[in-house]
Amino acid sequence: MHGKVRQLYLQSDEQRRKLSTIFEGSHDAILIVDLTTNSIIDFNGKACDMLNFSDEQLRDLSFYALYSGAHTHIRNFLDETQRTGWNIQELTFKSRLGNLIPTETSASIIEINDQPHLLTICRDIRERKQQEAKIDKITNFDQLTSLPNRVLMRDRINQTIIRNQASPNRYAVMIVDIDNFKSINDTLGQGNGDLLIKATANIIQSIVPKSDSLGRLSSDEFLLLAELPESDITIARKITARLAEQIRQAFDETMLVAGSLIKVSVSIGCAMLEEDGNSFDELLRHTDLALCKAKADGRDRVVFFSPGMDAEANQKLILKTALHRALKAKEFVLFISQSLT
């Protein structure tokens, strides 16, 4: 234990030895900061190891010099600790070699020679952060394309809807679907189907602005949230149509998959935030209806949602349900018509 810390302890030699063992034996970095000068006056060996400083380099170094972020943040951290007497936050420090070290730092105020000092215990959480990043990737990103998955896209669209209530803007939602993907996948095999999915993702990403959010919705469907630089709905729809056409036309050329040149096309359904829905589920349903219309009209086209599609879908559902019920109740009667000659 370094010199100035001994002033804290006026107990017996045995007690001081125990405290010294705790100080130096800690698996966490311990720093003591003089709050009048913000300089580090004492530390344990773990602090030197973690920060890649020697004793001479670390002693009297400003606490601010170790922090990787804005000085206002660390100032607020110190002020809050002095106000309450205790604090705990995640702080990222910068080692002598420039490496960023995320830590869980607990701090408290101690008195040395009647002057307030900061006692900090800094736990290195780099491994924990790496594990959290892995879990986040598994939970929120598609493993094949590394695009956001349905869960993350739902969250992003919901957050956009909330922000849009305070600061209105124009957004479009699109579903881009690979035409006849099942046939291609069955013919060329799943491995080559995966290559086609990745190639499709790369093509779409090369076209859409980086500010837009592109995710993989399902096997052969991609979901796009596009921010539009126009408040007028008519112009915004034209911009959306132009972007969708750019994506569609990018697949006009044949693609080389598994050594074979194949013609790949996409169908795209579009819906506008607010005009066509104000929730993720509503926007997705209406965009999917537009996509179904594009498929029904022959594929390889762009279709916008219209209210009539909703009514048509409801009528189809009612008819399908009625036919299913009639079939189970054996209500169908066969009539044979013979022509008279």
Buried b (16+ CB within 10 A) or exposed e, 150-179: bebbbebbeebbeeeeeeeebbbbbbbbbb
- If you count them, how many residues does the chain have? 341
- Other C-beta atoms within 10 Å of 58: how many? 18
* pTM, 2 dp: 0.71
- The encoded tokens of residue 60 equal 């009297």
Longest distance between any two alpha carbons in the chain, whole Å: 124
DSSP letter at 28 equals: S
Report the distance separating Cα 8 and Cα 112, nearest Å: 6
Give the relative orientation of helices 233-249 and 190-207 as an angle to the nearest 10 degrees: 140
Q: Please give the chain's pLDDT, 341 residues, in tens.
A: 444 444 444 445 555 566 667 777 889 999 999 999 999 999 999 999 999 999 999 998 999 999 988 888 989 999 999 999 999 999 999 999 999 999 999 999 988 888 889 999 999 999 999 999 999 999 999 999 999 999 999 999 999 999 998 888 999 999 999 999 999 888 888 899 999 999 999 999 999 999 999 999 999 999 999 999 888 999 999 999 999 999 999 998 788 877 778 889 999 999 999 999 999 999 999 999 999 999 999 999 999 999 887 666 556 656 666 666 767 777 777 777 766 55
Report the distance separating Cα 303 and Cα 7, nearest Å: 77
User: In sequence order, which residues have a C-beta less than 8 Å from that of residue 31 and are 6 or more positions away?
Assistant: 40, 42, 43, 47, 63, 118, 119, 120, 122
Q: Which residues pair with 322 in a beta bridge?
A: none
